[in-house]
Structure 1
Amino acid sequence: MLVPGDLIRLGAGDMVPADVRLLVAKDLFLNQASLTGESMPIEKTAAAVSGANDNPLDAPNVCFLGTNVESGTATAMVVCTGDKTSFGSLASHITGQEISTSFDKGINGFTWLMIRFILVMVPAVFIINGLARHNWLEAFLFALAVAVGLTPEMLPMIVTVNLSKGALVMSRKKVIVKRLNAIQNFGAMDVLCTDKTGTLTEGRIVLEQYLDPDGHSSLKVLDYAYLNSYYHTGLKNLMDEAILKHEELPASLNIREQFRKIDEIPFDFIRKRMSVVVEELSGLNILICKGAVEGVMELCSFAEVNGEIQAILPEQRQHCRELVAALNGQGFRVVALAYRKMPGATDDPVYTVKDESALVLLGFLSFLDPPKESATAALAKLASLKVDVRILTGDNEIITACICGKVGVPADRFLLGPQIELMNDEELTAVVMDYRVFARLAPIHKQRIIRAFQRNGHVTGFMGDGINDAPALKVADVGISVNSAVDIAKESSDIILLENSLQVLEQGVSEGRRVFGNIVKYIRMAASSNFGNMFSVVGASAFLPYLPMLPIQVLTNNLLYDFSQTAIPTDNVDADWLVKPRKWTISELRRFILVIGPVSSIFDYATFFVLWHFFDAQHNPALFHTGWFIESLFSQTLIIHIIRTNKIPFIESRASWPLTLTSLIIVLVGVWLTISPLATTLGFVRLPAAFWGWLAGILVGYVALTQVVKNWLQKKYNMQ
């Protein structure tokens, strides 16, 4: 067991067992992908830390638990172990209490809204009926029925079925939902933070250009680079692999027939280059050297341009440096290529570093992790859905700017990890909206950025696939990972994409909005209708000498209405609902309930008036109960079709056939109950034929006025 102060030795292939400080290092290169997400090895030395404000993961003399040694050796002293390491701190950020998401807060807000309504309405009904009729038991039972009527008891079923159906649809689109609540957050998401590597880019190094010293494309540079990488017997790095896989390699380069390997001078981290020697058919030996630009150029006495070899002049050296600087500024990693032809030997010659001299500069190779072909179109589609994409990466700002430029993401301003380190949470919250690209980030920086967006009122998603992404995935409203991600990232995420593509993400966003649309429909329908009915109950209780409706009739009405809403998860959602993020707005919902609910009460009172003055209901409580039961059931069923769309119902937008069918069934069942053998048990009587004419007029007026009020709400309060 290691403890702080222990000394350890590290070599190629070793996993670093703790956070350590280097005492001695020789040609040490580490892969820190587990912490930073970047695949290129990082050189480490025993030199002192070069900047107190830099990303701690960039410290040149510190190695971290979970990283592994690519090459070189080192002696180091253990500084931190276990939970106190950088790797261990990640675990502390992804464990503990679950974060409340936008969906959780919305459901909680709606629940408390309904509780407040019930706490006001139910006691009012109880007291009014008790004082009016002096039958407190009857008043209590009726108030209890009113409480049940006000409660949207179908909410758990509607939400669960909606989310489950959405998860099933999304699975067909290669989106796996781990946590059902995340579907609504997916649709409500208006800011998506995503890593660069593997999301905007292919996640692999490719050879982009092969240029002569003047910057023109040269197939000879490609041919010689291929020979160098092909005959290299050491561990091939990502650049060697990119050269060997390059699709434009000419078929005429027949390795086995045209060239024979003679010797090689291996790569080392002091020279930062490697050379191979091959014999061509003419008998000449060719030493081909590939490596770091400055190191190779120092060995060159000549340069080859357009097939002509000439002494390399100071102006040409400066031009080459400017060419390389320009390529680096575009985000390319550049290596130089040079060669030297020598007479063949009769015996087996041995070549050494001394032979890497008087070389001919042949040109340069540029490498890049290229953007995905689908990235630009997917980003444009997300923008059309009003999802603001922000880039969070551990890579440097130069490479990030290059990739962002290729996929259409503005990258004129950056917020860097070292700058974030100097800010407190309030300062970060104040400036985070001003930046679209964040670079050189440590894992904790990503988490802080997500929280800053949330504090600005945004439903924020995060897409990542590495261990370093786990803290941000945990705190995001919707954490998105991919099937190829590390286990800890998938465990911390809410949604897993079977393809690492923003196009798949865009399809999931649309489905999330459809699901949320149907949930909101139910809440608006149930809450406004129930509130309107109870508002009518309070008014009727004040002047009627009997209960407005028997408790069993209230419950029957509520049961039938609830059944009619079971098909809401199958309903269509208007296209204009899908064009922008949707999230819970309790104040908007409260306003909707308080306005639409009383509208239904107007027509309830109209029904009371008709029953009382034209059908002698003051002497026939059963007739009053039956008439209001039918009118209430019809109006509640109609409100489903009015509220389900912002358009004109039945004309511009039609419900799905299951919802239409259940609506018809419930209406027919309600009418049947008043003339069935159950009528006496339920307290119903047969309604006069003339009442149905009055009812038709009342319902037409109800539909018209509700549509007008709905349109007014939409325009005045920009309500959707």
Structure 2
Amino acid sequence: MLKLRRKSSTGTDDEHDLIIRGFLTFLDPPKESAGPAISALMDIGVAVKVLTGDNAIVTTRICRQVGLEPGEPVLGPQIEQLSDASLQQLVEERTVFAKLTPLQKSRVLKALQANGHTVGFLGDGINDAPALRDADVGISVDSGTDIAKESADIILLEKSLMVLEEGVIKGRETFGNIMKYLNMTASSNFGNVFSVLVASAFIPFLPMLAIQLLLQNLMYDISQLALPWDKTDKEFLSKPRKWDAKNIGRFMVWIGPTSSIFDMTTFALMWFVFSANSEHMQTLFQSGWFVEGLLSQTLVVHMLRTQKIPFIQSTAAWPVMMMTGLIMAIGIYVPFSPLGPLVGLQAPAVAVLPMAGRHAARILLRSTGHEGVLYPSLQAVVLGRRSRR
């Protein structure tokens, strides 16, 4: 039972003649995993900055406890006096921003974004909500306030902050595998179209039927279904990557014509060596190019997935190895199978198969070392502490 009473007057009598018996303090120590998490993030090229509404002295001490060199902190009143251009320069030079209001936190984030950074913000308090909303990736924790969790894009269920580094690495792996697929598909399709156009100008029949091209592309696409499970080189994961559409164009311009050169060599061999130089021999010509084209495209998967020497310095994950090997075996078998005549293919001469294998290997060697795979992730992770203000 609670009893309430209202006084008709106020006074300060209760504040007189007091004797100090002690002090009551509140301790909010950093998580044990904070230090290792910050170190791990910095090792993979992620800059860590602290934005807080707390006192600069307290914030500086905590930063040193977790192994983050605070430098000279920037205070909220200072930020209030700065122009956007000046703030954009300042955020690159400083690590700790203290005594910030919620809107000032958002302004610091936007300054980082204006400098071209992809910004993640970790916060769990009410004052962090605007920054969580404006960040490229807002991150909160399961024990955070309701408004912080509602404003965040990601809520951490694990207590360890090491999950941040794991998330960045997984994001870079995913982006890298996406770029592999785009580079492979664009360059392969460009090379096929280029080869067909050139061959059609000199050959009195279609170098490959539409259904054969579709079957070849279908089998090639199936070989890439395992790419989401592929491994990514450590060098690729060591720094942030950004989307660059021009990179796909460079792949098309280099890899496409390179594969077309070997396609032309295949055309010449089929025409002059195997005498597939008339309309009644076009099925043999098309069968030879079908096998050679599929083998070369599938082997190039292993070249484009890494900037290292494939099979020697970098080996694909077993699902990729299994899928590409299976597709190459099926591609060689198709002209000999009952499906071959249905799509206009015939069993080529036995000598065609070693020729196709040699050409595919030459394409692999010629192309190795000239690929460039790109990858963005969080370039700046900004850590926010809950303010007691």
1:648 aligns with 2:380: no
Q: 1:421 aligns with which of 74, 80, 96?
A: 80
**What is the CA–CA distance in structure 1 between the aligned matches of 2:344 and 2:286, rounded to whole Å?**
8
**What is the CA–CA distance in structure 1 between the aligned matches of 2:332 and 2:195, rounded to whole Å?**
21
**What is the CA–CA distance in structure 2 between the aligned matches of 1:420 and 1:489, rounded to whole Å?**
24
Contact map agreement 2:267 2:285 (CA 8 A) in 1: yes
Could you tell me how far 1:414 is from its partner in structure 2? Answer: 2.2
**What is the CA–CA distance in structure 2 between the aligned matches of 1:538 and 1:689, rounded to whole Å?**
28
Could you tell me how far 1:547 is from its partner in structure 2? Answer: 2.3
Could you tell me how far 1:693 is from its partner in structure 2? Answer: 2.4
**What is the CA–CA distance in structure 2 between the aligned matches of 1:641 and 1:408, rounded to whole Å?**
41
Could you tell me how far 1:517 is from its partner in structure 2? Answer: 2.0
> 2:22 is matched by which residue type in structure 1?
K
Which residue in the other structure is 2:381 paired with?
A: none
Q: 1:559 aligns with which of 207, 212, 218?
A: 218
Which residue in the other structure is 1:684 paired with?
A: 345
Contact map agreement 1:522 1:568 (CA 8 A) in 2: yes
> 2:339 is matched by which residue type in structure 1?
L
Could you tell me how far 1:388 is from its partner in structure 2? Answer: 0.5
Which residue in the other structure is 1:217 paired with?
A: none
| SS of residue paired to 1:687 | coil
Q: Which has the higher strand share?
A: 1
Structure 1 pair 371–470 and aligned structure 2 pair: CA distance change class (3 A): closer
Q: 1:519 aligns with which of 178, 194, 200?
A: 178
Q: Which has the higher helix share?
A: 2
Which residue in the other structure is 2:299 paired with?
A: 638
**What is the CA–CA distance in structure 1 between the aligned matches of 2:214 and 2:266, rounded to whole Å?**
20
- How big is each residue's C-alpha offset from its partner over 1:555-610, in whole Å with a ceiling of 9 and x where there is no partner? 11111111111111111222222222222122333223321222111111111111
- How big is each residue's C-alpha offset from its partner over 1:319-378, in whole Å with a ceiling of 9 and x where there is no partner? xxxxxxxxxxxxxxxx7xxxxxxxxxxxxxxxxxxxxxxxxxxxxxx7643333332222
Q: How does 1:290-689 map to 2 (within 5 A)?
A: 290-291=22-23, 368-619=27-278, 620-689=281-350
Contact map agreement 1:274 1:290 (CA 8 A) in 2: no
- How big is each residue's C-alpha offset from its partner over 1:605-624, in whole Å with a ceiling of 9 and x where there is no partner? 11111112112222022222
> 2:355 is matched by which residue type in structure 1?
W
Contact map agreement 2:294 2:328 (CA 8 A) in 1: yes
Which residue in the other structure is 1:208 paired with?
A: none
Could you tell me how far 1:674 is from its partner in structure 2? Answer: 1.0
> 1:651 is matched by which residue type in structure 2?
I
| SS of residue paired to 2:183 | helix
Identity score, percent: 49
1:701 aligns with 2:358: no
Give the superposed CA RMSD.
2.6
Q: Which segments of 5 or more consecutive residues in structure 1 lack a partner in the other structure? A: 1-11, 13-24, 28-265, 276-287, 292-334, 336-365
- How big is each residue's C-alpha offset from its partner over 1:501-536, in whole Å with a ceiling of 9 and x where there is no partner? 432212222222222222222122212222222222
**What is the CA–CA distance in structure 2 between the aligned matches of 1:572 and 1:670, rounded to whole Å?**
25
**What is the CA–CA distance in structure 2 between the aligned matches of 1:644 and 1:616, rounded to whole Å?**
37
Structure 1 pair 475–539 and aligned structure 2 pair: CA distance change class (3 A): farther
**What is the CA–CA distance in structure 2 between the aligned matches of 1:469 and 1:480, rounded to whole Å?**
10
**What is the CA–CA distance in structure 1 between the aligned matches of 2:63 and 2:193, rounded to whole Å?**
56
Could you tell me how far 1:499 is from its partner in structure 2? Answer: 3.0
Which residue in the other structure is 2:379 paired with?
A: none
Contact map agreement 2:45 2:239 (CA 8 A) in 1: yes
**What is the CA–CA distance in structure 2 between the aligned matches of 1:462 and 1:527, rounded to whole Å?**
35
**What is the CA–CA distance in structure 2 between the aligned matches of 1:470 and 1:536, rounded to whole Å?**
56
**What is the CA–CA distance in structure 1 between the aligned matches of 2:98 and 2:159, rounded to whole Å?**
21
TM, length-normalised to structure 1:
0.48
**What is the CA–CA distance in structure 1 between the aligned matches of 2:220 and 2:194, rounded to whole Å?**
17
Contact map agreement 1:416 1:438 (CA 8 A) in 2: yes
> 1:554 is matched by which residue type in structure 2?
L
**What is the CA–CA distance in structure 2 between the aligned matches of 1:26 and 1:655, rounded to whole Å?**
79
Contact map agreement 2:299 2:364 (CA 8 A) in 1: yes
Contact map agreement 1:274 1:289 (CA 8 A) in 2: no
TM, length-normalised to structure 2:
0.86
| SS of residue paired to 2:201 | helix
Contact map agreement 2:283 2:346 (CA 8 A) in 1: yes
Contact map agreement 2:300 2:363 (CA 8 A) in 1: no
1:289 aligns with 2:21: yes
Which residue in the other structure is 2:382 paired with?
A: none
- How big is each residue's C-alpha offset from its partner over 1:479-508, in whole Å with a ceiling of 9 and x where there is no partner? 111111122222222221113443221222
Q: How does 1:106-255 map to 2 (within 5 A)?
A: none
| SS of residue paired to 1:462 | strand
Structure 1 pair 274–290 and aligned structure 2 pair: CA distance change class (3 A): farther
Structure 1 pair 452–500 and aligned structure 2 pair: CA distance change class (3 A): farther
Contact map agreement 2:336 2:347 (CA 8 A) in 1: yes
| SS of residue paired to 1:545 | coil
**What is the CA–CA distance in structure 1 between the aligned matches of 2:231 and 2:151, rounded to whole Å?**
33
**What is the CA–CA distance in structure 1 between the aligned matches of 2:118 and 2:242, rounded to whole Å?**
8
Could you tell me how far 1:702 is from its partner in structure 2? Answer: 1.2
**What is the CA–CA distance in structure 1 between the aligned matches of 2:327 and 2:102, rounded to whole Å?**
55
Q: Which segments of 5 or more consecutive residues in structure 2 lack a partner in the other structure? A: 5-9, 375-389
Contact map agreement 2:53 2:101 (CA 8 A) in 1: yes
| SS of residue paired to 1:683 | coil
